[in-house]
Structure 1
Amino acid sequence: MENKARLLMVGTFGENQQDVVRIMETKGWSISVVHDLSRAVTLLAREEYDAGLCCLHALSENELKELEPLVMRSRMEWMALIKETELENPFVCKALAKLFMAYQVEPIDIEQVDCLMNHAMAMKQLRFERSDPLLTDGDSEFEMVGAAPVMKKVFNTIRRVASVDAPVFISGESGTGKELAARAIHERSQRASAPFVPVNCSALPSSLIQSELFGHEKGAFTGASQQKIGQIEAASGGTLFLDEIGDLPLELQVNLLRFLEEKTIQRIGALDEIEVDVRVLSATHIDLEKAVAEGRFREDLYHRLNVLQVDIPPLRERQEDIEILARFFFDKFIEEKSMNVRGFSQEALVLMRQYHWPGNIRELTNRVRRAMVMCDQRLIKPADLGLERRTAKRHAMTLEEARNCAEKEALLSALNRNKHKVKKAADELGVSRVTLYRLMEKHNLERKGVGTSSLTSA
């Protein structure tokens, strides 16, 4: 038997409420009725509905304010029932404009309500339930999201290195997600149930790094009023992630090397050594080989840390992932957004793909999050992201680069519009499938069914 569409009715609809519910149920709706907002919040926390119907009769200004987060977090469209006199209340009118897909003035027209609720359900399915090729074709690894070939290589490397227990060195520019990669390795390893302990070596004062990593005994130095367990010992059985390892002072590099070789540590002020079973992951945004050549980093420590390697590419090298990531962060921070905001304008998406992203994923996250709060329209524009056309490119572009950029943009847009069906995209662009495949290869866009790619020739 086909599942009925689920409708949540909030409020009191008058003496004929039971008749309204009965008739709507005969039209195929499964209905839950609650009379107050707090009960509706509780219900929505554990149940999924297809549409919402709210009666605004006699709601105070405070109750209308409480209604906003309820509607925003429900992930469905709502319709309101009101009395004609309530349209004179500016607070009610503001709530209607911001929160509801439609409203109906009583007396209730059941046929119209049923029609509008079906529209609301269809809009929910379009917005949240129907598969988006950009997202379903994407891959992910502990919040690392992407469909670009370079990221699929990263995900494959993460899965391989996670299966063994050797040290891993993670390289990449600032903001590319090196800690996320480290967490992904830990989560896929046999140590996943044990602690994951991150330490940012560049954020610790040099006078405290040794105590932070190795711990100290009570009275070991002035101010050591009690014993302290270091981060290495705290990670026992699990994974220690040393971020910005290139900033570790030379004198402490000796101690870290000794720990890696002997698997023992000695707290400051202690006489005995402690055996610690820890897997070490490390990362930096600087060129460690250059640091070794300049004498700023020990060569023996570098080789101890750099047994296995994971290189995280900058965002500018995975252009096709930018829209996927923007939508991922939009969904992640959806409860913070302005009620009016529904997504990104096409112009914003184009400029995001053209922008150089010097701050990588961190910058993209911050720009999207800020735009979601500040935008007062339905679609986020370039100005909301701080990406006007004059600042979209930070470096001079040659004619050849401009042609390639426009060509790749046209390919991506046509493939996305045609749900990654190669033949349909080729027809739209006025080229043969052979030509389209050649262009896809030129711009590193792979075919579905070949390896781990994301396109189909149907």
Structure 2
Amino acid sequence: MSEKILIVEDELNLRKLLSLLLSEQQYQVVEASNSEEAIAIIKQQHIDLILLDNRLPKMSGLEALKIIKAINPDIYVILMTAYASVDTAVEALKLGAYDYIVKPFDLDELKALIHRTLEFSQAQKNGISLVPQIELANSDNKEHILTNSLNMMELCRNIAKVSQTNTTVLITGESGTGKELVAKTIHYYSTRSTGPFIKINCGALPETLLESTLFGHEKGAFTGAYQRQIGVFERAHLGTLFLDEVGEMSTNLQVKLLRVIQEKEFEPLGGNKLIKSDFRLITATNRNLQNLVEAGKFRQDLFYRLNVMCLNLPPLRERQNDIMLLARYFANQFCHEQNKALLDFSIDAVEALNQYSWPGNIRELANAIEYSVIMSNGLFIYAKDLPAQINANRDIPNLTVNFNDADSPSTTLKDKVKNYEKELIINALKNHNGHRETTANALGVSKRTLLYKMQEYKIFEKIN
């Protein structure tokens, strides 16, 4: 007898597509368009697996998940969500979901996930013991990973999973991609969240000072050691130790770090008593540790110890969908700090931000937006308000337009830009049948910005 799968999805076309896909895989398929229907079905029928959309009318998928697991704790649920959110992923796993997948998803990936889930279900029925679920502590963490990019969605999924373990994690990526934020997110969603989060930049301290900072020292251990100092290995007890730029660590300290990882004990400098510490280790680097190993600059045995779980952060230039999402987030933040009216971005500013390559990644973007907020004189950030390097090499669109006075000697550059912007908006509205939200998305601006521009240029809502 084939397994029975319940699809809970309010979007008709997607629900029918999934139903057809799973029927072709010889599964029995049942459909529901909302949470209430789904709950009624599982009360009446045996269901092996539920594909549960999170954004449902009236009752969300997460709310339905609580009720479903209360009715049948053994039922397997895969949550489908339109946003890559660590919060959603962790909450889903806490409530008993087996896994979650982010829309739009690859159908082959979904099929593989369903197959793995049902295999796991069968293993449980056959008496194979399972790892008990870990309860996550609450956190006051205020920082969040923001993304709309596909290549970050899998990363969010992995962060949610690894946060529930004590596994050593290596975070790789270029400078400014947010490695520390990922480390903090893992800590704050873990069972160690009530413990300390200690960060040390291994590349910012000379070797002797770094060694003392890591291990601590006794009074008189060396010249200038006037009192005992507790090291971060000891301070991180029952919490998380984050070693940033671990690739900069000397070979001598690499040997000592390896011993601490293996033994979970160490001696302070100048001391002769072993100190035990229970900490979770997360490291990060913007260098290729494998290349350093091959060059003899990083110990291979330490690399294997650190690289149990590797999370790689893509650079911002490979996260095109995130540029404006993050830009607006930083604009709101800096407007609040500077006590300025809430700003949005003009079309030319959006183009400039999207065309720039962002070698400094998210850190550079944050700095650029802070500069722009300070330089702006109104409700909008224009391209002229952005730092010079962002405009330096960008492709400026051809501003020749077919308005009668476009080439008039009395027409200023500002007027020409406005004429061009007006024509862009009119054409976009025509292409999208006057639908303002779709038009705003196509232009890369918020709906509020589009409405403001339509009012400014006296563009009527009905486009003929």
Bin of the TM-score, shorter chain as denominator length = 0.5 to 0.7
Alignment of 1:194-233 (within 5 A): 194-233=195-234
Q: The residue matched to 1:189 in structure 2 has which SS?
A: coil
Q: Which residue of 2 aligns with 1:84?
A: none
Structure 1, residues 190-249: CA drift from partner, whole Å, max 9, x if none?
100100001000011222111000000011111111110001111100000000000001
Q: Which residue of 1 aligns with 2:175?
A: 174
User: What amino acid maps onto 2:252 in structure 1?
Assistant: E
Q: Which residue of 1 aligns with 2:346?
A: 345
Residue 170 of structure 1 contacts residue 312 of structure 1 at CA under 8 Å; is this kept in 2?
Answer: yes
In the aligned structure 2, how far is the partner of 1:230 from the partner of 1:391?
48
Task: Please say which of residues 375-384 and 138-147 is displaced more in the overlay.
Answer: 138-147
Q: Which residue of 2 aligns with 1:250?
A: 251
Q: The residue matched to 1:209 in structure 2 has which SS?
A: helix
Q: The residue matched to 2:180 in structure 1 has which SS?
A: helix
Q: Which residue of 2 aligns with 1:304?
A: 305
Matched, 1:375 2:376: yes
Q: Which residue of 2 aligns with 1:266?
A: 267
Q: Which residue of 2 aligns with 1:73?
A: none
In the aligned structure 2, how far is the partner of 1:338 from the partner of 1:164?
42
Q: Quick one: higher RCO (CA 8 Å, sep 6+), 1 or 2?
A: 1
Q: Which residue of 2 aligns with 1:280?
A: 281
CA RMSD of aligned residues (A): 2.6
CA offset at residue 341 of structure 1? 6.0
Q: Which residue of 2 aligns with 1:150?
A: 151
Q: Which residue of 2 aligns with 1:403?
A: none
Q: Which residue of 1 aligns with 2:451?
A: none
Q: Which residue of 1 aligns with 2:187?
A: 186
Residue 233 of structure 2 contacts residue 279 of structure 2 at CA under 8 Å; is this kept in 1?
Answer: yes
User: What amino acid maps onto 2:283 in structure 1?
Assistant: S
User: What amino acid maps onto 2:179 in structure 1?
Assistant: K
Matched, 1:318 2:306: no
CA offset at residue 309 of structure 1? 1.0
Residue 244 of structure 2 contacts residue 285 of structure 2 at CA under 8 Å; is this kept in 1?
Answer: yes
Matched, 1:391 2:393: yes
CA offset at residue 157 of structure 1? 0.9
User: What amino acid maps onto 1:290 in structure 2?
Assistant: N
CA offset at residue 338 of structure 1? 6.8
In the aligned structure 1, how far is the partner of 2:256 from the partner of 2:229?
18
CA distance 1:219–1:389, shift in 2 (3 Å): closer
Structure 1, residues 150-179: CA drift from partner, whole Å, max 9, x if none?
111111010111111110000000000000
CA offset at residue 362 of structure 1? 0.1
In the aligned structure 1, how far is the partner of 2:168 from the partner of 2:369?
35
Residue 340 of structure 1 contacts residue 376 of structure 1 at CA under 8 Å; is this kept in 2?
Answer: no
Q: The residue matched to 1:377 in structure 2 has which SS?
A: coil
User: What amino acid maps onto 2:295 in structure 1?
Assistant: E
CA offset at residue 349 of structure 1? 1.0
Structure 1, residues 81-106: CA drift from partner, whole Å, max 9, x if none?
xxxxxxxxxxxxxxxxxxxxxxxxxx
Residue 332 of structure 2 contacts residue 342 of structure 2 at CA under 8 Å; is this kept in 1?
Answer: no
In the aligned structure 1, how far is the partner of 2:85 from the partner of 2:386?
25
Size of the aligned set, in residue pairs, is: 271
Q: Which residue of 2 aligns with 1:3?
A: none
CA offset at residue 378 of structure 1? 2.5
CA offset at residue 274 of structure 1? 0.7
Q: The residue matched to 1:224 in structure 2 has which SS?
A: coil
Residue 341 of structure 1 contacts residue 375 of structure 1 at CA under 8 Å; is this kept in 2?
Answer: no
User: What amino acid maps onto 1:233 in structure 2?
Assistant: E
Residue 171 of structure 1 contacts residue 311 of structure 1 at CA under 8 Å; is this kept in 2?
Answer: yes
In the aligned structure 2, how far is the partner of 1:332 from the partner of 1:237?
33
CA distance 1:247–1:414, shift in 2 (3 Å): farther
Structure 1, residues 67-119: CA drift from partner, whole Å, max 9, x if none?
xxxxxxxxxxxxxxxxxxxxxxxxxxxxxxxxxxxxxxxxxxxxxxxxxxxxx
User: What amino acid maps onto 1:382 in structure 2?
Assistant: A
Residue 140 of structure 1 contacts residue 146 of structure 1 at CA under 8 Å; is this kept in 2?
Answer: no
Structure 2, unpaired ranges of 5+: 1-81, 88-142, 396-427, 443-464
In the aligned structure 2, how far is the partner of 1:263 from the partner of 1:342?
50
User: What amino acid maps onto 1:391 in structure 2?
Assistant: N
In the aligned structure 1, how far is the partner of 2:339 from the partner of 2:228?
48
In the aligned structure 2, how far is the partner of 1:418 from the partner of 1:320?
20
Structure 1, unpaired ranges of 5+: 1-135, 394-409, 426-458
CA distance 1:419–1:151, shift in 2 (3 Å): farther
User: What amino acid maps onto 2:219 in structure 1?
Assistant: K
Question: What percentage of residue pairs aligned between the two structures are identical?
Answer: 42
Structure 1, residues 121-145: CA drift from partner, whole Å, max 9, x if none?
xxxxxxxxxxxxxxx9564664221
User: What amino acid maps onto 1:289 in structure 2?
Assistant: Q
Residue 331 of structure 2 contacts residue 343 of structure 2 at CA under 8 Å; is this kept in 1?
Answer: no
CA distance 1:225–1:318, shift in 2 (3 Å): same
CA offset at residue 344 of structure 1? 1.1
Q: The residue matched to 2:146 in structure 1 has which SS?
A: strand
CA distance 1:389–1:212, shift in 2 (3 Å): closer
User: What amino acid maps onto 1:253 in structure 2?
Assistant: Q
Alignment of 1:392-407 (within 5 A): 392=394
User: What amino acid maps onto 2:167 in structure 1?
Assistant: A
Q: The residue matched to 1:155 in structure 2 has which SS?
A: helix
Q: The residue matched to 1:283 in structure 2 has which SS?
A: strand
Residue 340 of structure 1 contacts residue 378 of structure 1 at CA under 8 Å; is this kept in 2?
Answer: yes
In the aligned structure 1, how far is the partner of 2:86 from the partner of 2:324?
14
Residue 335 of structure 2 contacts residue 343 of structure 2 at CA under 8 Å; is this kept in 1?
Answer: no
Residue 341 of structure 1 contacts residue 372 of structure 1 at CA under 8 Å; is this kept in 2?
Answer: no
Residue 213 of structure 1 contacts residue 231 of structure 1 at CA under 8 Å; is this kept in 2?
Answer: yes
CA offset at residue 339 of structure 1? 3.5
Q: The residue matched to 2:203 in structure 1 has which SS?
A: helix
Moved over 6 A (4+): none
Q: TM-score, normalised by structure 2?
A: 0.55
CA offset at residue 390 of structure 1? 3.9
In the aligned structure 1, how far is the partner of 2:161 from the partner of 2:337?
37
CA offset at residue 391 of structure 1? 2.2
CA distance 1:297–1:420, shift in 2 (3 Å): farther
User: What amino acid maps onto 1:230 in structure 2?
Assistant: G
User: What amino acid maps onto 2:316 in structure 1?
Assistant: L
In the aligned structure 2, how far is the partner of 1:163 from the partner of 1:312?
20
User: What amino acid maps onto 2:277 in structure 1?
Assistant: V
CA offset at residue 335 of structure 1? 2.4
